[in-house]
Structure 1
Amino acid sequence: MAHYDPSLSSPSDEVNLGVSVNPHAKPTDFDFLAVIGKGTFGKVLLAKLKADGKFYAVKVLQKKVILKKKEQKNIMAERNVLLKSLKHPFLVGLHYSFQTSEKLYFVLDYVNGGELFYHLQRERCFSEARARFYTAEVASAIGYLHSLNIVYRDLKPENILLDYQGHVVLTDFGLCKEGIEPEGTTTTFCGTPEPPFYSRDMSEMYDAILHKPLQLPPGKSEASSHLLCGLLQKDQHRRLGAIADFLEIKNHVFFGPINWDDLYHKRITPPYNPNVRGPADLQHIDPEFTREMVPNSVGRTPEPTPSLATSSSNAFNGFSYISGEDGFL
C-alpha cells in the first residue's frame, strides 16, 4: 500500500480519474437518486455516474461534523482499509474518493440486496443452514482483514449487506484498527454493545458483557451452541480463534458442510435470492432511508470558505484516491 506524505500540499478539490471520461471527480459528475443509508457523519446515496450511466453507492460525509467530533482518524482509517480490501469477494470495494471544501466522498460498489439487519427484522429468524452460509462468508472476509493485521470492530447485521445474488458484502470500516500483530490487542472500547446482553441500563449491560454467563435460547444444534460459546468466551486467551485465528473457525464442526474454496469463489448458491430487478430496485433498502429527500447540497461543488477549507484540507490530507493508481492526490 502506498503512503501519503503529510508534508505535501493539501489535495485539491479536483481529482484525476485516469481512464474515466471525465478526468476530474466532483459531485456534479453524479445524479444522486436516493438516500440508501445514514450515519453519524453523513449519508450513503445511490448515484449514477453521468458519464457512463453506471450506479454507485456514494458515501458523503460532512467535514465539520467529523472535525467537531474529532473523528478524522477513523475516517482516514476507513479509507485506508477500503484501499487494502479491494480484492476480496465479501468486502465492499472503493472505486475512488475525493473531497470538496465541505464534504468527503467515497465512491463505492453499489450493493442492493439489503442489510442483513433488514432481512432479519422481517423474517425474525434464519435457518441454521442460512446462518451458516452468511457466517462463513463474513468469517472469510474477517480472516482476510486479519491477514492484513486489520481488526474489524463493529460487526453487526446493519454492516452486512447482501448483493443482488444474495452473497455477503461487509461494509463500514470506520472503527477498524490497522497494524495489529497476530498476538496483539486493542484497548479502545468501541462498537455496538447491545447483543446478546442487552439492557436498558447501560452500566448493567456493560457489566453483563464482562461477567454474566452466556444464555443461549433452546432449540439450537450442539455445533452452533459450541461455536457461539467459543466466540463469546470472556477470557480472550480461551476464545475461539485466539490461537490460530481464522483457521480455527474454518475447522470448527459447525462449518463442516462448507467447502471454503467454493465459498470464496462464489460457487455455493446463496440460500436466499433477493430477486432485485436492476440497480434502481430499492425494494430491500429500508424505507426509513429511501423516503428521505436527497439534499440539494450533495450534488453541488461549493465555493470553499477560506477558514474551513484550510483546516479541513489539512485534517484530511491524503484522502483523495484513484482506483488503479499507486498513490494518493
Structure 2
Amino acid sequence: MTQLFEFDDEQLASKIEKLDLEEADEPEMPKVGEFASSDGVGSRLAKSYEVPIDLPYQAGKRKKKVTDFQPIKVLGKGSYGKVILVKDKSSGKLYAQKQLRKASMIVNAKNYERTLTERTILERVRHPNVVKLFYALQDFDKLYLILEYLEGGELFHHLSQERILSEKIACFYVAEIILALRHLHLHTGVIYRDLKPENCMLNRRGHLVLTDFGLSKVSTESSSLFGTAQYIAPEVIQGERYDSQCDWWSLGAVTFDLLTGSPPFTGNNNKKIMDKILTQKVKYPFYLSQDARDLLIKLLNKNPQKRLNCDIEFDNKRISTKSSLL
C-alpha cells in the first residue's frame, strides 16, 4: 500500500495549471437557480455547499505535504471516507480533499481496489468535464486525493430545487455528460458505471464535471453488478458481459430524471427497482417534446445492441438523424 500514491505531483500540477489557463476564456453557460458518495448498488443521498471564493493558483517548487492544506469544512461523508474543503496555505487555492482511512482498506479489500482505481483513472484523464486530480498524498493513517473544488455543487441539488429542468438547459448538461463519457470510453478505456445526478458537479462557470470514479472499470468489458439502482442498465442487472453501452442507458435515466423530476423506474427498495427495469416499459410524460421522447426511447432501449451508441454515432456524424434534441 505504500506504493499506492507515488507519482510526480509537481509534474501533474503543472500540466493541470496549463489546462486551466487554456480553459480561462471558455463561454458562460445557462445557470439554474443559485450555485450551492457507494458500495455496490447505492441510493440517492446528497448534500451540497457553496463557498464563493476563487483565488489564483501556481504550482509550488517543492512537493506538497498534507500539512500544507488547511481544513475549512466537511463537504460530505461516505461509507469509508469523507471530503473536506481545504485551502493551500501558500497560495490560497481551494481544493476538495478526499480522505480515506488505511484501516478501512485493510479490513475491506474492495475499498483498496476502488481507491486505487479512482487514483489511476484520474491521474491519466485530462478533460474539462472530468474532475481534476492535483495531488495524491498519504500519512500514517490516511490517504488523500487533492481534487478540483467544484463550487457549483451537485446537479442533484439544483434538480431538487427546480424540480424539473427545461429541455434547453437539460440538453446543455446532457451534451457535456456525453463529451465526458466519450472521452472515458474512447481515450482511456474506462466504463464509468455510476452515472447519476449526485456524481455530476458544476464548476464556478456552471459547466458539468463528472466525479467519483470508485466504481469505474478500466476495461472494455465487465460482468460485475455496480452502480445505483435507479440508473443501472438491464444487462448489468442480469449479470451478463457488458461494455460501455451500459453508460448510455444510465445517460437516458439521468436525462429522464432531469426532464421529469425522477428516474424512469422507482420503488421502495433496490430489488423492486431493478425488477421494474428488467420487466416494465418506460412511461413517458405527455409534456415531453417529440425530440426529447425520441432521444430517451433510443437511450433507454433494453437491448444494448439496439441502444443509441453516442461513441459511434458522433464519430459518424449521424446523431442528428437519431435525435434532433442534440
Identify whether the pair has TM-score above 0.5, normalized to the shorter chain.
yes
| TM-superposition CA deviations, 1:84-134 (whole Å, max 9, x none) | 212x11111111101112211111111101110000001101000000000
| TM-superposition CA deviations, 1:168-224 (whole Å, max 9, x none) | 1111111111121xxxx3211111012321111432222111121111222001111
Which residue does 1:120 correspond to in 2?
159
Runs (4+) of structure 1 moved beyond 6 Å? 12-16
| Higher mean C-alpha displacement, 104-113 vs 236-245 | 236-245
Which residue does 2:283 correspond to in 1?
215
Contact 2:81 2:99 in 1 (8 A): yes
Amino acid aligned to 2:79: T
Query: Which secondary structure state, in structure 1, belongs to the residue aligned with residue 229 of structure 2?
Result: coil
Query: Which secondary structure state, in structure 2, belongs to the residue aligned with residue 90 of structure 1?
Result: coil
| Higher mean C-alpha displacement, 20-29 vs 92-101 | 20-29
For residues 165 and 176 of structure 2, what CA distance do their matches in structure 1 show?
Answer: 15
Amino acid aligned to 1:212: Q
Mark the runs of 5 or more structure 2 residues left unpaired by the alignment. 12-58, 231-262
For residues 131 and 254 of structure 1, what CA distance do their matches in structure 2 show?
Answer: 18
Which residue does 1:175 correspond to in 2?
215
User: How is 1:278-289 mapped onto 2 (pairs within 5 angstroms)?
Assistant: none
Closer, same or farther: CA 231–66 of 1 in aligned 2, 3 Å: farther
RMSD: 2.6
Contact 2:85 2:94 in 1 (8 A): yes
For residues 209 and 8 of structure 2, what CA distance do their matches in structure 1 show?
Answer: 28
| TM-superposition CA deviations, 1:3-53 (whole Å, max 9, x none) | xxx9xxx34999875485473433211111011122222111111111211
Q: Does 1:187 align with 2:223?
A: yes
Match of 1:106 among 138, 145, 154: 145
Closer, same or farther: CA 18–146 of 1 in aligned 2, 3 Å: closer
Match of 1:85 among 125, 137, 159: 125
For residues 95 and 22 of structure 1, what CA distance do their matches in structure 2 show?
Answer: 14
Once the two structures are TM-superposed, the CA of residue 257 in structure 1 deviates from its matched residue by: 6.8
Which residue does 2:266 correspond to in 1?
198
| Pairs aligned (count) | 245
For residues 237 and 39 of structure 1, what CA distance do their matches in structure 2 show?
Answer: 35
Closer, same or farther: CA 48–22 of 1 in aligned 2, 3 Å: farther
- Structure number with greater Rg is 1
Amino acid aligned to 2:193: R
Closer, same or farther: CA 15–131 of 1 in aligned 2, 3 Å: closer
User: How is 1:2-13 mapped onto 2 (pairs within 5 angstroms)?
Assistant: 10-11=2-3
User: How is 1:218-297 mapped onto 2 (pairs within 5 angstroms)?
Assistant: 218-241=286-309, 244=312, 247=315, 251-252=319-320, 256=324
Percent identity reads: 38
For residues 231 and 257 of structure 1, what CA distance do their matches in structure 2 show?
Answer: 13
| TM-superposition CA deviations, 1:65-84 (whole Å, max 9, x none) | 23323221111111111012
For residues 127 and 12 of structure 1, what CA distance do their matches in structure 2 show?
Answer: 44
Contact 1:35 1:45 in 2 (8 A): yes
Q: Does 1:54 align with 2:97?
A: no
Amino acid aligned to 1:176: S
| TM-superposition CA deviations, 1:146-180 (whole Å, max 9, x none) | 01211111000000111111111111111111121
For residues 193 and 4 of structure 2, what CA distance do their matches in structure 1 show?
Answer: 32
Q: Which has the higher helix share?
A: 2
For residues 218 and 304 of structure 2, what CA distance do their matches in structure 1 show?
Answer: 19
Query: Which secondary structure state, in structure 2, belongs to the residue aligned with residue 51 of structure 1?
Result: coil
Match of 1:65 among 91, 104, 107: 104
